[in-house]
Amino acid sequence: MEEYTWPARRPDVPGLSPDEVWAATIAALPVGASVAGEVIGRQPFGVFIRIDGLPGAMGLAEIIAMPEGTGLPVLGARIRGEVLDHVGHNRQVRVRLHEAGTALGQSPL
């Protein structure tokens, strides 16, 4: 497995258009909301997250929003964090990871 990977295409949500999925994501995850999910992609700038309970939602935790001194969580790691922002042009939820112990299995930066 390569160290850095892109996430697979987001799953379609039956009966909803991409616009409806994005609107539901924003409504369910306001800024400051707690989120949990699984790391599904890694890049040098951060990790992509499949957010629990929202099959069409994609989260992104950038390195600058990770606790100081932690490494990038590995693929498959379970994480917890807080919603920082919504990025409409690529329909991503920006996430700040919580302090140490957020992710099981981390690699050094």
SS (H, E, C) the chain: CCCCECCCCCCCCCCCCHHHHHHHHHHHCCCCCEEEEEEEEEECCEEEEEECCCCCCEEEEEHHHCCCCCCEECCCCEEEEEEEEEECCCCEEEEEECCCCCCCCEECC
pTM reported for the whole predicted model: 0.82
Residue 14 vs residue 49, higher pLDDT: 49
Q: What is the pLDDT of residues 70-105, one digit of tens each?
A: 888 999 999 999 999 999 998 999 999 985 444 444
Per CATH, the architecture of 18-103 is what? Beta Barrel (2.40)
pLDDT 10s digits, 19-60: 888 999 999 999 999 999 999 999 999 999 999 999 889 999
